[in-house]
């Protein structure tokens, strides 16, 4: 099923979800490695370029996902969720969508305001133009902190999101996780005591 319905996510939403998730986790890992103080400068430059390329890819995919989310039929929450769980789920999903756009956008701002003026070579295919912003060390420092803070916030939300999905799958036995794996809904199991 390419398009979602009231009870299931469509193939496109599932594909975007997992692709963006994997790319973000790879970017967080790469971001940590490339900022180590003992890294070889030539390797660091290459890692920064890969980080920026994949970051731009995430930005594009996250924008597509946000538009798709706004235009698609909303999947109803699993019936066994409490009102509080529904609220927290809704807030978390919206924050994940917003941060999926803001984190790479902040990274693009860093590249644009850096006085070094190093271009972003998108997978060595073309150069991504800088945003029309004033360059300064102060702006680069500020946006680097914004980017890092947003990235770590996104990481915390991803961990919370994954733990909640595993909790619902392993402990509650409902279809929260299975729906994002494209599986058919099954009757909920009884809660464990």
The answer to whether residue 2 sits within a structural domain is: no
Domain membership of residue 190 (yes or no) is no
Instruction: Please give the structure tokens belonging to residue 124.
Output: 């060595």
- Which pLDDT score, from 0 to 100, does residue 127 have? 97
* pLDDT for position 172: 86
For residue 170 the two structure tokens come to 């392993």
Q: Tell me whether residue 78 is in a domain.
A: yes
Give the global pTM. Answer: 0.86
pLDDT of residue 10: 85
What is the structure's pLDDT at 87?
94
User: Is 1 inside a domain boundary?
Assistant: no
Number of domains making up the chain: 1
Mean pLDDT across the stretch 85-95? 93
186 in a structural domain: no
Quick one: pLDDT at residue 53? 97
One DSSP character per residue, 68-116 reads HHHHSPPPPPPTT--HHHHHHHHHHHHHHHHHHHHHHHHHHHHHHH-TT
Is residue 131 a part of any domain in this protein?
A: yes
Residue 3 lies in a domain: no
Measure the CA–CA gap between 93 and 106, rounded to whole angstroms.
Answer: 20
Q: Is the pLDDT of residue 193 over 50?
A: no
Banded model confidence at residue 6, pLDDT cuts 50, 70, 90: low
Given a cut of 50, is residue 120 above it in pLDDT? yes
Q: Is residue 191 part of a domain?
A: no
Find tokens 């979602």 and name the residue: 4
Statement: residue 112 has pLDDT above 80: yes
Question: Which residue(s) pair with 127 in the sheet?
Answer: 121
Structural domain boundaries enclosing 126: 11-180
């Amino acid at each position: 099923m390419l398009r979602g319905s009231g009870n299931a996510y469509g193939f496109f939403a599932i594909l975007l979800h997992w692709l963006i998730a994997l790319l973000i986790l790879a970017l967080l890992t790469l971001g940590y490695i490339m900022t180590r103080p003992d890294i070889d400068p030539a390797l660091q430059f290459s890692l920064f370029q890969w980080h920026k390329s994949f970051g731009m890819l995430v930005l594009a995919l996250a924008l597509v996902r946000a538009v798709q989310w706004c235009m698609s039929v909303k999947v109803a929450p699993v019936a066994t969720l409490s009102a509080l769980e529904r609220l927290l789920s809704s807030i978390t999903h919206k924050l994940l969508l917003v941060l999926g756009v803001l984190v790479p956008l902040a990274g693009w701002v860093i590249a644009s305001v850096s006085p070094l003026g190093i271009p972003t070579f998108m997978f060595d295919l073309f150069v991504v133009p800088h945003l029309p912003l004033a360059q300064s060390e102060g702006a680069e420092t500020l946006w680097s902190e914004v980017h890092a803070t947003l990235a770590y916030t996104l990481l915390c939300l991803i961990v919370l999101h994954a733990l909640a999905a595993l909790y619902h799958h392993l402990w509650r036995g409902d279809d929260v996780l299975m729906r994002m794996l494209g599986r058919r809904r099954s009757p909920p199991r009884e809660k464990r005591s």
